[in-house]
Structure 1
């Protein structure tokens, strides 16, 4: 059968239309494609002229897909996903089996990386690339296979799988000078700087309310850009940090940090795991996901109540 010449619209026009449809905005598409809003609008108009159909309704509120536009974008999105998957497969064959992970910085540093040697031992040929961010992954826009993100409440997205629960507890260095300023009761926290992360602004309030304290005039507080810095501040005897237990477990076990109080408070939040649908058929991703879930289950089953060291 002779080869048929494909009749395809300009690729840039297709990309501009597909991105505009996802964002319902030429401006949003322009930011993703790194072009001007005017360029996106011109590409979409070119595509409409080429097809001879109207894809968007332009209103004073913005743009919205027409019925033909909705049908067309569903087909295009599926095709772009297939191209993305095929491209990743081709690239991964060239540079070896590669997994790209997007993780919160403190989770990566304090929970995943110390365990990663276990995975390497099982799968020495899989290359891991780790990117850190507090923002959830957008698999349609980012070259990421798997992400972990902390959600304050269970997400509506049922494709995300719960990985680790969040248990809050104050911890500090065992070298904190408590002889001069006792730290026996929660109210004694008033004598110390309270350390926290700006990405978790409610943690101290949650714990203090459970401890029966609604007001606390303390010796100032230090709010860090991320929890890893706050934990380092506690190690350096700057004060008492409100910590997620899973992220300071090793410090508790080896005595670098201690819990002055027995009270631990579970939050409605947890760390959730999500995978790119494009990469979901990858055997290396399946292996990593299974290992990660296994590690999380083993950790949570190993938890035992901690007794105060003070």
Structure 2
């Protein structure tokens, strides 16, 4: 049966004007003139053979017919918008956008990414790096690997692992004038710190049983990977975040002056919108990530299913 439908522009103009109960606010939302809204609503009223608004000097109110029509039209437009987004999402389904820190990208993910691409050639992975966590209300990221705590509502957090922190430095520093015989000697060295992890050094000194007698003075970086680069170049002593930096220790670029570790603040999670748990590309990436972590001998061994986090 042939459908009779009024013009879409008239329907949109009415729905927005009814939602705001204002022609002017409707004009602002649709980026058209006040007269254009008035014209489209009048056109719709003509086609329906009834008035939809009681027009006052500075306000409008829905008539009985308008109050009947508005929720029907609102729901129809919402369904059209939802269906449009589902189609757009399906078109983009072969692309997975992953937001990570530079440290995690360079120190762990990218060296293993070819394995994921070999196993799942139908999924294109886009890597975005940032020192802040993804805000899924504003970000186009599908998933985010983060270190911290569960802070966002309607976001699923899949526990990955917990890192340790420990001091590392260039071998040249051990050969320098100020020896490193015990953890307290670090107070006389330049200590490299991370701008968003200012409690790391106090945390480690507490684990080592050392009271900080003076403020930590040294270079400040926005990622652990940059701090490690500074340590390799002899700029000072940095705190490595396991499992990152272990390859530099094995190669001899860095050394551990003390075998004292402290648990880092926060845990590592894979996060994404709760309503994306059924997404096939998200499920595939999550399984691959957990499998690779369990295979990695540099990540502390633990039964992930038994790890309970608040």
- Asked if TM exceeds 0.5, the reply is yes
Q: Which residue of 1 aligns with 2:236?
A: 239
Contact kept in structure 1, 2:192 and 2:219, CA below 8 Å:
yes
Contact kept in structure 1, 2:156 and 2:274, CA below 8 Å:
no
Unaligned runs of 5+ in 2: 42-51, 54-72, 302-310
Contact kept in structure 2, 1:154 and 1:268, CA below 8 Å:
no
Q: Which residue of 2 aligns with 1:124?
A: 121
Distance verdict in 2 for CA 1:239–1:278, change over 3 Å: same
Contact kept in structure 2, 1:187 and 1:216, CA below 8 Å:
no
Distance verdict in 2 for CA 1:270–1:213, change over 3 Å: same
Alpha-carbon distance in structure 1 between the residues aligned to 2:213 and 2:76:
58
Per the TM alignment, residue 267 of structure 1 is displaced from its structure 2 partner at its CA by 3.2
Q: More displaced, 279-288 or 73-82?
A: 73-82
Per the TM alignment, residue 184 of structure 1 is displaced from its structure 2 partner at its CA by 1.7
Q: Which residue of 1 aligns with 2:90?
A: 89
Alpha-carbon distance in structure 2 between the residues aligned to 1:182 and 1:76:
72
Of residues 33, 39, 43, the one that matches 2:29 is 43
Alpha-carbon distance in structure 2 between the residues aligned to 1:247 and 1:169:
11
Contact kept in structure 2, 1:175 and 1:237, CA below 8 Å:
yes
Q: More displaced, 4-13 or 186-195?
A: 4-13
Contact kept in structure 1, 2:195 and 2:220, CA below 8 Å:
yes
Per the TM alignment, residue 297 of structure 1 is displaced from its structure 2 partner at its CA by 2.6
Alpha-carbon distance in structure 1 between the residues aligned to 2:235 and 2:151:
35
Alpha-carbon distance in structure 2 between the residues aligned to 1:183 and 1:253:
20
Of residues 269, 273, 279, the one that matches 1:272 is 269
Q: Which residue of 2 aligns with 1:144?
A: 141
1:195-210 pair list within 5 angstroms: 195-210=192-207
Per the TM alignment, residue 179 of structure 1 is displaced from its structure 2 partner at its CA by 4.6
Instruction: Give the number of the structure whose alpha-carbon radius of gyration is greater.
Output: 2
Of residues 109, 129, 145, the one that matches 1:112 is 109
Q: Which residue of 2 aligns with 1:9?
A: 12
Per the TM alignment, residue 155 of structure 1 is displaced from its structure 2 partner at its CA by 4.5
Unaligned runs of 5+ in 1: 18-37, 53-71, 305-310
Counterpart secondary structure, 1:246: coil
Alpha-carbon distance in structure 2 between the residues aligned to 1:262 and 1:73:
64
Q: More displaced, 163-172 or 272-281?
A: 272-281
Q: How many residues align?
A: 259
1:288 aligns with 2:274: no
Q: Which residue of 2 aligns with 1:215?
A: 212
Distance verdict in 2 for CA 1:3–1:296, change over 3 Å: farther
Counterpart secondary structure, 2:238: strand
Q: More displaced, 100-109 or 155-164?
A: 155-164
Distance verdict in 2 for CA 1:82–1:105, change over 3 Å: farther
Alpha-carbon distance in structure 2 between the residues aligned to 1:149 and 1:11:
44
Alpha-carbon distance in structure 2 between the residues aligned to 1:297 and 1:141:
32
Counterpart secondary structure, 1:232: helix
Q: Which residue of 2 aligns with 1:173?
A: 170
Alpha-carbon distance in structure 1 between the residues aligned to 2:15 and 2:258:
60
1:179-190 pair list within 5 angstroms: 179-190=176-187
